[in-house]
Chain A
Amino acid sequence: MLELTRITAGYDPRDPVVRDASLTIAPGESVGLLGPSGCGKSTLAKVAALLHRPDAGTVVLDGRPVRGWRHGAPRAQRTAVGVVFQQPRLSADPRLSLRELIAQPLRATGRRAEVTDRVAELAPAVGLTAELLNRRPHEVSDGQLQRACLARALVLRPRWLICDEMTAMLDASTTAALVAVVEAYRRESGAGLLAVGHDRVLLERWCDRTVGWQGISGRVATQESMSPTG
């Protein structure tokens, strides 16, 4: 289980973007979290990915409470969660080739020996050719880079996947292709999924169930950026 209980989080403790939000995902389950941009759902996704320490609330991952975040999280917990963000350019080191990018988590966890096999397995699954693997981020399209970022998220075989607006910048065919990769991985591994997005049609097609941001939040943030008309 991935259990987020009464999470309050944000960047300014006086004005948190996530207030008292709770969400539980069962093993193998896929949950779509639907909300408008700026509502705080990306921050909650970062909390779920152990990348952002909440101000209050608890995260329990497969029965163990999470006590450390980012590099402070124990390796076993950190590697249990794979994450893909909306903007691949912001999350990809521009100096690395796509091959190195995909292999990064293996190297960071001392599993260099697996690099060749894992990359050889994942590259065709996400649709990257050997030639593309040698290129750097600025030499590929957003869609190709996002394919590499998805492969990176899967390289450690996580039990949980967090996809935060993974396809918001992509065309329809690349979107369908990346979702198919995630679903193939989940079928084979039994991993659970939290897919965060603003596209109801997409999330409802993709996930077992879709929850609205307001439905999981104790109190809805009232900041200006939430309202479409300002």
Chain B
Amino acid sequence: MKPTPDPQTPDPQTPDPQTPVLSVRGLSVRFRMRGGRHIAAVSDACFDLAAGECLALVGESGCGKSVLASALLGLLPGNAQTEGSAVLGDGTDLLTADERTLARTVRGRRIGLVPQSPAAHLTPVRTVRAQLEETLRELTGIRKPALRAAAEQAAARAAFPAGHLDRYPHELSGGLAQRAATALALIGDAPLLLADEPTTGLDRDLVERTVDELRRHTDGGRALLIITHDLAAAERIADRVAVMYAGRIVELAEADRFFGEPGPRHPYARGLLDALPERAFAPIPGMPPELGALPDGCAFAARCSRADDRCSAPPPFDGHLACHHGVRAGTEESAHA
């Protein structure tokens, strides 16, 4: 825990470079449905996240990436069953910690959440200043009269203009609402920031500004897990990219190799990039399978031009790739050729 709060210090505690800020192993989330059905929303996710690093978790809506985020925050609904572990740098396992621990010591303090729709996340009937002050009181113990200055400093850290502090959320533009939400997320000096679709609905220049600001906080020593379907935002901000498909991480790669040369190795990831309007603008044929009725073999097989007999067995994830016929690094060959 942080001892004396000091809102002037922009960086979290000096992290131990040896221990990842977050270490996820074999994380699975299943939902029990009526009639004994199960939905495998997340299967066997494994990744580490270090201080000063940004990992972008990308994939289409319904691929399980938001469920994974909810699992890390302990915000899964009652019918969810989890397996595996998600351990913070201090040893807390997010999957086994009880709600009291999560509420008192994790959310806001160890993990700062930059929410998907900031306007909805902010309390509509209270000004930004009131919300910042309340969170400061709660997380840092600062009291009046220091509170006012502390709120202004907290706002400044997220580039939220002091002149707008007395506004209500509905009086803010999308960009300012996002900054207000980011300011709230930064207050607890959490070593891990989790941003869930932080750029949805924002204009391109605002997307860029938002991710650049998040990147700045990462460069300040935080670890950032950004969950997004916006590949351009991921390319701009991430050090590494994890691609999720039908509940599984199918590729985990360095961002510059993924977006640049030699490009993704997984056929789905290649298809996703090819679909961008600045690239081939060609959709991947078909749709993802239902998470409640996944095939026995590779979940992408029905849409994959490389599928063959081997793909009727599930491809194991080797830490980089889950595919029997991944594109080899250094080949020009396209999965859709």
Contact = CB atoms under 8 A, between A and B. Distances in A.
Interface of A: 36-38, 86, 127, 141-144, 168-177, 179-180, 198-202, 204-206, 224-230
Given A169-B200, A175-B283, A224-B171, 11 more contacts: A143-B62, A172-B231, A172-B276, A173-B60, A175-B277, A176-B277, A176-B281, A177-B283, A228-B209, A230-B172, A230-B175
Contact of A205 (B201, B273, B278): B278
Interface string B270-296: 011101111001111011000000000
Contacts of A37: 174, 201-203
Interface in B240-289: 271-273, 275-278, 281-284, 286-287
B238 interface: no
Interface in B174-189: 174-176
A206 B277 contact: yes
Nearest to B59: A171
Contacts of B284: 173, 177
A94 to B, nearest CB: 18
User: Which of B161, B205, B281 gathers most chain A CB within 10 Å?
Assistant: B281
A13 B271 CA distance: 47
Residue from A37, A38, A172, A205 whose CB has the most chain B CB atoms within 10 Å: A172
Given A38-B173, A142-B61, A198-B204, A230 B161 contact: yes
25 contacts: A36-B205, A37-B202, A127-B286, A143-B62, A143-B287, A144-B287, A169-B61, A169-B200, A170-B61, A171-B59, A171-B229, A172-B275, A173-B283, A173-B284, A175-B275, A176-B282, A176-B283, A179-B281, A199-B277, A201-B278, A205-B277, A205-B281, A224-B173, A227-B173, A229-B176
Contacts, number: 100
B325 interface: no
Nearest to A204: B277
B306 interface: no
B175 A228 contact: yes
B109 to A, nearest CB: 29
Nearest to A143: B61
Contacts of B271: 173
Nearest to A129: B287
A228 B281 CA distance: 28
A182 B200 CA distance: 23
Interface residues of B, number: 35
Nearest to B276: A172
B173 A174 contact: no
B38 interface: no
Interface in B45-65: 59-62
B61 A38 contact: no
B60 A171 contact: yes
Nearest to A87: B201
Nearest to B170: A225
A171 B173 CA distance: 24
Contacts of A176: 275-277, 281-283
B283 A180 contact: yes
B283 A229 contact: no
Interface in B6-64: 59-62
B164 interface: yes
Given A201-B277, A224-B171, A230-B175, A173 B201 contact: no
B264 to A, nearest CB: 12
B206 interface: yes
A174 B283 contact: yes
A200 B204 CA distance: 8
Contacts of A226: 173
A188 B176 CA distance: 44
A143 B205 CA distance: 25
Contacts of B200: 168-169
B61 A202 contact: no
Contacts of B176: 229-230
Nearest to A35: B203
B161 A38 contact: no
Please provide the 8 A-B residue pairs with the shortest distance between their CB atoms, ordered closest to farther.
A177-B283, A171-B60, A205-B277, A176-B283, A172-B275, A141-B62, A176-B275, A173-B275
Contacts of B276: 172, 176, 201
B206 to A, nearest CB: 5
A171 B286 CA distance: 14
Nearest to B273: A172
B281 to A, nearest CB: 5
A62 B59 CA distance: 42
A229 B278 contact: no
